[in-house]
Amino acid sequence: MQSVNIGVLGLGTVGSGTVNVLRRNIKEITRRAGRDIEITRAADRTIDKERSCDISGIHLTTDALEIVNDPNIHVVVELIGGTGIARDLVLQAIENGKHVVTANKALIALHGNELFEKAQDKGVTIAFEAAVAGGIPIIKAMREGLSANSIEWLAGIINGTGNFILTEMRDKGRDFPEVLEEAQALGYAEADPTFDVEGIDAAHKLTIMASIAFGIPLQFDKAYTEGISKISQEDVQYAAELGYIIKHLGISKKTEQGVELRVHPTLIPHRRLIANVDGVMNAVLVKGDAVGPTLYYGAGAGSEATASAVVADIVDVVRTLTTDPENRVPHLAFQPDAIVDTPILPISEVVTSYYLRIHTDDEPGVLADITRILAEQSISIEAILQKQPEDHNGIVPVIMLTQEVAEKNMDLAIKQIEELTTVEDSVMRIRMESLG
Ligand code: HSE
């Protein structure tokens, strides 16, 4: 049987890893795929440069469109990233009847609906396992392994840079800016590190997982996104005293009112397995009604870890080359005509419990004022911790854990608490999840 020719667009970290993994394991991969697979062409910005992969036998070009338009290429692997040129190339590849494998989370989260529709029309597949949580096969697990279940919720540590920063802050007492600088130097962070620390990268990945979990269109624009840059050493320590760990989670839940889609720092009980996922590692917890909670853990980034997912997608695509397009696993797990428009809930409608840290003056009646405001918004206090006044300035940190309440009620309460003349600074609020 004729071998399957692959054209790789982008020979950076993941592209080089893809070449290395495919070549190193080619015998086993061929036994799995049932066909010979060969990377015959690759595009990169520069031809003559030192590389971390063996490119012998691969015809290099700086013109990615040449590969997309080459009739001898069967599968295009897009590893350029971003939503500009990458989108044009993927659209052209689909137009030319080629299957596409991509690691591009932004492309799928922002343009997936359009791309999948076009791929469906053309009878080709877009495979995107590497777009979410690097080497963890979470797409495959949710789309196929959990297909018997009604998925209730999922929660993931899906940005390694953010997790590295929070881990260093907790374990070594370091401050946010210093650790971010180190994460950039180590090459963990995105080109624009605000994508990592402000939760945009995680929201891309969460958007994709939520669509697969609940059979809804991709709606990145409706995801609530809050970063970790305001988390202070003080909050990390108070959370620990109360038995919690702060993680930057992407959470999606199905409720009677709609689907929650939110990325924010979250207090979780320290005993949960996912609370102990440290450093750059990723993990996703998925709760199905039949199976219960399931946890997927592994490297969320890195050359060969991400290549592991890219190559697995290539194998999947090769296996389905001869199958009827109507009988392939649907892109978003549900058949395209069975995707439903369940509303995404605005964050004001989300119901959760909270950690509040309030800096107050050391005066009688301050706590009474705060608890009165909370009671007026039907907010019940679960735990309270008052520290001794800080040196010199007489400011008293008061930490409260609340029971579940709608975010809009908490917004009102916080606004009124901040208006008290005895309250200094803004109130720090961190949402809490039991993940039980
Ligand atoms: N910057 C991302 C992370 C890389 O830190 O997880 C993988 O998407």
pLDDT for res 186: 82
Residues 360 and 328 in one domain: no
For ligand 1, residues with CB inside 6 Å are 134, 159-161, 188-190, 196, 201, 300-301
92, with CB counted inside 10 A (0-12, 13-18, 19+), is middle
Give the domain extent around 369.
Answer: 348-432
pLDDT digits (tens, 9 = 90+) for 259-291: 999 999 999 999 999 999 999 999 999 999 999
Residues 6 or more apart whose Cβ sits within 8 Å of residue 411: 348
Q: Is the pLDDT of residue 233 over 70?
A: yes
Bridge partners for 355 per DSSP: 401, 430
pLDDT at 105 over 80: yes
Shared domain check, 44 and 163: no
- The residue whose CA has the least distance to atom 8 of ligand 1 is 301
Q: Domain for residue 250, yes or no?
A: yes
| Domain co-membership, 226 together with 145 | yes
Residue 379 is given by DSSP the state P
For residues 163 and 184, give the distance between their C-alpha atoms in angstroms, rounded to a whole number: 13
| Residue 92 and residue 212 in one domain | no
What is the reported pLDDT for 392?
67
Beta-ladder partners of 39: 6
Q: Which of 123, 86, 97 is CA-nearest to residue 8? A: 86
- What whole-number percentage of the chain has pLDDT above 90? 91
The pLDDT confidence band at residue 97, using thresholds 50, 70 and 90, is very high
Q: How far is the CA of 202 from the centre of ligand 1 (A)?
A: 8
**In this structure, are residues 296 and 284 in contact, taking their beta carbons and an 8 Å threshold?**
yes
- The whole-chain average pLDDT of the chain stands at 96
Q: Which DSSP symbol is given to 337?
A: G
Q: Does pLDDT of 190 surpass 80?
A: no
Is there a single domain that holds both residue 12 and residue 104?
A: yes
Give 203-232 pLDDT, tens digit per residue: 999 999 999 999 999 999 999 999 999 999
Q: Do 370 and 387 have their domain in common?
A: yes
pLDDT tens-place string over residues 326-345: 899 999 999 999 999 999 99
Rounded distance from Cα 205 to ligand 1 centre (Å): 10
Inside any domain, residue 116: yes
On whether residue 343 sits in a domain, the answer given is: no
Residue 57 in this model has a pLDDT that exceeds 90: yes
**List 105, 205, 253, 254, catalytic entry:** 205
pLDDT tens track for 400-420: 999 999 999 999 999 999 999
The H or E element containing residue 238 is helix 233-241
Find the CATH number of the domain harbouring 235: 3.30.360.10
Beta-carbon count within 10 A of 393 CB: 11
Claim to verify: residue 307 and residue 284 sit in the same structural domain: no
Task: For residues 317-325, give the mean pLDDT.
Answer: 92
Query: Could you confirm whether 222 is annotated as catalytic?
Result: no
Residue 160 lies in a domain: yes
- The domain total for the chain is 3
Residue 267 inside a domain? The answer is yes
Nearest-atom index, ligand 1, CA of 163: 5
The last residue of a domain, from among 268, 298, 328 = 298
For residues 81 and 342, what is the distance between their CA atoms, to the nearest angstrom? 29
Q: Is the pTM of this model over 0.85?
A: yes
On whether both 200 and 244 belong to a single domain, the answer is: yes
State the CATH number of the domain containing residue 375: 3.30.70.260
CATH number at residue 124: 3.40.50.720
Average pLDDT (100-115) is 98
Residue 99 has pLDDT above 70, yes or no: yes
280 CA from centroid of ligand 1 (Å): 8
Average pLDDT over residues 354-366: 94
Answer yes or no: is 176 within a domain: yes
Question: Which residue among 298, 324, 357 closes a domain?
Answer: 298
User: How many Å lie between the centroid of ligand 1 and the Cα of residue 302?
Assistant: 8
Residue 391 has pLDDT above 70, yes or no: no
Mean pLDDT of 249-261: 98
Q: Are residues 61 and 163 located together in one domain of the fold?
A: no
Residue 374 lies in a domain: yes
Domain shared by 147 and 272, yes or no: yes
The answer, yes or no, to whether residue 436 has pLDDT greater than 90, is no
Q: What is the pLDDT of residues 125-161, one digit of tens each?
A: 999 999 999 999 999 999 999 999 999 999 999 999 9
243 and 389 share one domain? no
- On whether residue 106 sits in a domain, the answer given is yes
Kindly state whether residues 272 and 334 are assigned to the same domain: no
